[in-house]
Amino acid sequence: MNRLKRIVLRIWKAARDHPIAVITWVIILGGWEIAAHLAPESTIEQAPLVPSWEYVFTDSLPALSGGWTRDFWAPVPQTGGEETYLGAFLALADHTQATVVRLAVGLFAGVTTGVFTGLAVSYWPWVRQMAWAPLNLLRMFPLLAAIPLFQFWLGGTLKGTTAFIGFGVWVLLVVSTINSVSNVPDRYIENARTLGASRFRTYRSIVVPAALPELRTGLLLSAGLSWSLAVGSEYIGATNGLGNILAVAEFTTNTGRMMIIAVVISIAALSTFFILNSLFNHLVRWVPQAPSSVRRVAAAGSLGGTLEK
């Protein structure tokens, strides 16, 4: 009871400290409910064009328990059991776990190979000359169009989905790494070479660490991209995962289920973003940080200068 009270007090404090965020969420959620009641009726039964929150939580959410197939903790609707909220949350957790495994393997492979390739291309001029044009061509290639190719080559298995996720993240991080290295100030390299450091040692000890802070943007972008790639790869051929649920929802025109999966994916992607951001902050903890008061004053001064112009 005391723990629940502390949680409620913490939520109340957060709402009191950030009233604009609370008002924004009230407007979004309330506006969606109003749109649900004002939208025209759908010609398909049990498929409202804009599902209301009541429909989502009382109809679509319990129906997700049909994806729970293990005969413990909750009834199994496929064998005659009733639909339950517990079964729905267990099914969501089970499918989310399958997606997270694919995403983690593909993201790790894409990040490591992408950063390594970008560093290699930046270090050797002849590699850069050979790879720059193909890399830019791959960057413009629509990744969703590559899903059928990867499934044809590797199948809708863990190997195929993770290879596709890794490929998409690799393309993004190769270009981000090259740009990060190219933006390292020349004076860092000149000072190291003047002090007698070899080209390789300068690159390893000066250029790579100096490029890491700017690589943050590419890494965080890869977090959001990896979720899109994971769901897209599951959408066509996987037998489980959030993408599979979304594909079934489209086939049955269940807009309420689509809403639930969209919310789950958004929360999961946001969590991945914060995890990667925390890991990256730990990795570059050696970078000097200005005090928060100084950053606020600098931001205010920048805004003032903009307003004066």
pLDDT class of 113 with cuts at 50, 70, 90? very high
CATH 1.20.1560.10 fits 92-252+273-298, yes or no: no
Residue 206 in tokens: 């000066």
pLDDT class of 1 with cuts at 50, 70, 90? low
What average pLDDT score do residues 81-85 get? Answer: 81
Query: Are 156 and 239 in contact, with CB atoms under 8 Å apart?
Result: yes
The pTM for the full model equals: 0.76
Question: How many angstroms separate the CA atoms of 144 and 292, rounded?
Answer: 42
Residue 111 in tokens: 């990040």
In the prediction, which pLDDT does 286 show? 65
Average pLDDT, the chain: 80
Query: Are 248 and 235 in contact, with CB atoms under 8 Å apart?
Result: no
Helices H / strands E in the chain, number of each: 15, 0
3-state secondary structure of 134: helix
In the prediction, which pLDDT does 287 show? 66
What does R_g of the chain's alpha carbons equal in angstroms? 24
What average pLDDT score do residues 42-59 get? Answer: 81
Considering only CA atoms, which of 220, 205, 201, 210 is closest in space to residue 182? 210
Q: Is the pLDDT of residue 31 over 80?
A: yes
| DSSP calls for 241-289 | SHHHHHHHHHHTT-HHHHHHHHHHHHHHHHHHHHHHHHHHHHHTTTS--
The model's pLDDT over 256-303, given as tens digits with 9 standing for 90+, comes to 888 898 888 888 888 888 888 888 787 777 666 655 444 444 444 433
